[in-house]
Each structure stands twice: as C-alpha cells, then as structure tokens.
Amino acid sequence: MEVILKKDVENLGFADDIVTVKNGYGRNYLIPRGMAVMATDSARKMHEETLRQRAFKEQKLVEDAKNMASSLAEVEIKIKGKVAEGGNKLFGSISSVNLAEVLGGMGYDIDKKYIQITGGHAKALGKYNAAIRLHREVNVDVEFEVIAE
C-alpha cells in the first residue's frame, strides 16, 4: 500500500513523501492517527500541485536552516549537572531534553525529537556530540560539554 505522509514519521519518511508500507500499518496506525493518507490518483495529483506551490517556500526554509546550522556550529554549549564530590559521574543524565532547553535559552528553538546525542545520554562530565536535524536536507553536528554545578 502506498501512502502520502502528512507528518514526519521516524524511520519511515518525511512529510509529503510517498512511501510503501504494509496494509495493516497503513490502515490501522498511520491513517487513523492523521499521519498519512492513501495515495490514490486524485490524492497524488493534489500532492504534486501542492509541492509545486511550496517549492519557493521550501527554498527559503533550507536557507534559514543552513544559516542556523552555521551559527550553531560556532556556539560553545556548556550544560551543568550535579556530581558527587571528587567524582565525574552525574546524578542522572543529560538528554536531548536538557540540550533543547539550553539551546532554547540561547535563542535556538529546536524540538527535542530532532536532537540525538551520540551514545544516548551523557552520564559523566566531559565533551559529547549531538546530531541536530534542522530540516530534512540540513543536519548539523554540535559539540557540547557537561560541567559540574
């Protein structure tokens, strides 16, 4: 079954992509939740027209994402975490939620679901990397440091 995605679906595709999925997944999960519509002939024609109209807006979004990526690559990010005396292991961990909050405080509005920290969570003091998806075509790797409070 082919469907047109209305929203980004992790490990499947981005919004406005036409993808092939199993019948049950499409009918029982994607379509009822409003994440996709069936790719009928009329839906395909409407989809193509919508993409044509949206092409200019998409180009501006890509340029804005590239500008944000270049500024993010230069930013020095430090996240404070609680540690035991004389140790470097954190109480808890630093996740994409914490990184999104720090970036939000710096003026970058990035949703936590678009941030992936290399290795999962940061559980000790030190430097870590995170991959941030700003647009379907623009990804940036950001380095951040976890320091003691």
- Model confidence pLDDT, tens digit, residues 107-144: 888 988 899 998 888 888 999 999 999 888 889 999 99
Indicate the average pLDDT of the chain: 90
Question: Which two tokens mark 62?
Answer: 């890509």
| Domain boundaries of the chain, sorted by first residue | 2-62, 67-148
Per-residue pLDDT tens for 38-61?
999 999 999 999 888 888 888 888
Report the distance separating Cα 4 and Cα 19, nearest Å.
7
Per-residue pLDDT, 12 = 93
Fold topology of 67-148: Ribosomal Protein L9; domain 2 (3.10.430)
Domain 2-62 has CATH 3.40.1350.10: no
Per-residue pLDDT, 123 = 87
